[in-house]
Amino acid sequence: MKMSAFSPYNDVYIQHKISNQKNDMPVPHYHEAYEFYLMLDGKRYMFYDNICHTLERGDLVVLVPFDIHYSQSLESDYFERYVLYFRPEDLSVILSGSETSYITSKLNPCVVRLSDKQLSVVQDYFEKIEGFTKREGFLSKKLLCSSIFQLVLYVTECMNNAQIMRSSPITPQIMDSLKYIEKNYKQNITLDDLSATVRMSKYHFCRTFKEATGATVIEYLNNFRLAKVHSLLINTKSTIETIAAETGFSSAKNLTRVFKDAYGTSPRAFRKEHEKHKQDNAFTTG
């Protein structure tokens, strides 16, 4: 179950992409970072919060850490977009911890439609950020951090006057199954449980679920659980055994297998690397 989740200990990541062919994510995924997804042209579909959002020019998606999402092409091939990932600690070059917390607390997950003027301003920030990531030196990091900070402030202003986005809710049965997973992920959930809950045959349920979410039932369930695991690994001192029990994995061994298949590393190695990165970052900016 290879997953394209963003590495939690990399620096700021920004990418401008133009695609002339269908381009779907392998499976729904999540990041430790905040994500700004800006549509510049074409059409794209974002599955998030049980809704399939239709993204066109001027649409901005704001995602917070550990939000599971999935984007796809469907009937449209061409699109152009920017995507930016950043973590709160990336702002530490110019902001204190309390200042960073205050700023990021204003970022709520949403999909907003920007006016032409707002789009021009936001795109300009993205281009500046992209330019600063290609420069070296401590001053460049401050300029990068400053640009992200200004972008965040501007986006929060846009969010206050957000226009309602066009969207297509998924079928009630699939929505019920997603709510069931969210409520019962700590338990042993089987395909029989889910299909019985929504009163569909297993075959029809699996096909409909994949069409709606972009993932098989097992992929989605494991990704949902891994988002919880990921958060517990970096925010608590709980043992792997305890985390496995709290997130629906049958054992620490089973959790390690699924986690390693998704990330290419074990939960313990991941936690160790994350702690090392935090210490190195604190030493550099302290």
Alpha carbon distance 198, 185 (integer Å) = 16
Q: Tell me, yes or no, whether 136 lies in a domain.
A: yes
Domain range for 269 = 170-274
**Strands 167-169 and 110-113, sheet pairing:** unpaired
Tell which wins on pLDDT, 80 or 231: 80
| Coil vs helix vs strand at 7 | coil
Q: Is the pLDDT of residue 177 over 90?
A: yes
- Nearest in space to 252 (alpha carbons), one of 264, 263, 237, 268: 268
Label residue 168 by pLDDT band (50, 70, 90).
low
Question: Are 19 and 158 within one domain?
Answer: yes
The letter for the amino acid at 187 is Q
Q: Across residues 173-183, what is the average pLDDT?
A: 90
Q: Which of 23-27, 132-136, 164-168 has the lowest mean pLDDT?
A: 164-168
Report the length, in residues, of the chain: 286
DSSP 171: P
Q: Across residues 244-250, what is the average pLDDT?
A: 95
Q: Tell me, yes or no, whether 248 lies in a domain.
A: yes
What pLDDT is attached to residue 104? 87
Task: Tell me the backbone φ, ψ of residue 3, rounded to 5 degrees.
Answer: -130, 145
Q: Is the pLDDT of residue 6 over 70?
A: no
Question: Are 243 and 150 within one domain?
Answer: no
Question: Are 180 and 163 within one domain?
Answer: no
Choose the final residue of a domain: 167, 194, 221: 167
Q: How far is CA 232 from the centre of its chain?
A: 16
Number of domains in the chain: 2
Label residue 5 by pLDDT band (50, 70, 90).
low
Question: Are 253 and 122 within one domain?
Answer: no
Tell which wins on pLDDT, 284 or 161: 161
Q: Tell me, yes or no, whether 284 lies in a domain.
A: no
Q: What is the pLDDT of residues 75-113, one digit of tens each?
A: 788 999 999 999 888 888 899 989 988 888 888 888 899
Q: Tell me, yes or no, whether 40 lies in a domain.
A: yes
Alpha carbon distance 30, 232 (integer Å) = 14
Question: Are 31 and 143 within one domain?
Answer: yes
Alpha carbon distance 159, 227 (integer Å) = 25
Q: Tell me, yes or no, whether 286 lies in a domain.
A: no
Question: Are 23 and 151 within one domain?
Answer: yes
- Nearest in space to 207 (alpha carbons), one of 195, 223, 225, 196: 195
Q: What is the mean pLDDT of the chain?
A: 87
Choose the final residue of a domain: 108, 134, 167: 167
Q: Tell me, yes or no, whether 97 lies in a domain.
A: yes
Question: Are 181 and 263 within one domain?
Answer: yes
Check which CATH number belongs to the domain holding 111 and give it. 2.60.120.280
Question: Are 144 and 35 within one domain?
Answer: yes
Q: Is the pLDDT of residue 65 over 50?
A: yes
Query: Angle between the 217-235 and 202-213 helix axes, to the nearest 10 degrees?
Result: 60
Alpha carbon distance 1, 286 (integer Å) = 39
Q: Is the pLDDT of residue 214 over 90?
A: no
Question: Are 26 and 109 within one domain?
Answer: yes
pTM comes to: 0.75
Q: Is the pLDDT of residue 3 over 50?
A: no
Q: Tell me, yes or no, whether 4 lies in a domain.
A: no
Question: Are 72 and 145 within one domain?
Answer: yes
Tell which wins on pLDDT, 220 or 276: 220
Q: Is the pLDDT of residue 158 over 70?
A: yes
Question: Are 86 and 179 within one domain?
Answer: no
Alpha carbon distance 226, 258 (integer Å) = 8
What's the maximum distance between 2 C-alpha atoms anywhere in the chain? Answer: 60
Label residue 166 by pLDDT band (50, 70, 90).
low
Q: Across residues 267-285, what is the average pLDDT?
A: 74
Choose the final residue of a domain: 167, 195, 227: 167
Question: Are 78 and 120 within one domain?
Answer: yes
Alpha carbon distance 12, 276 (integer Å) = 18
Backbone angle region of 281, left / alpha / beta, with phi > 0 → left and psi within -120 to 50 → alpha: alpha
Q: Is the pLDDT of residue 4 over 50?
A: no
Check which CATH number belongs to the domain holding 246 and give it. 1.10.10.60
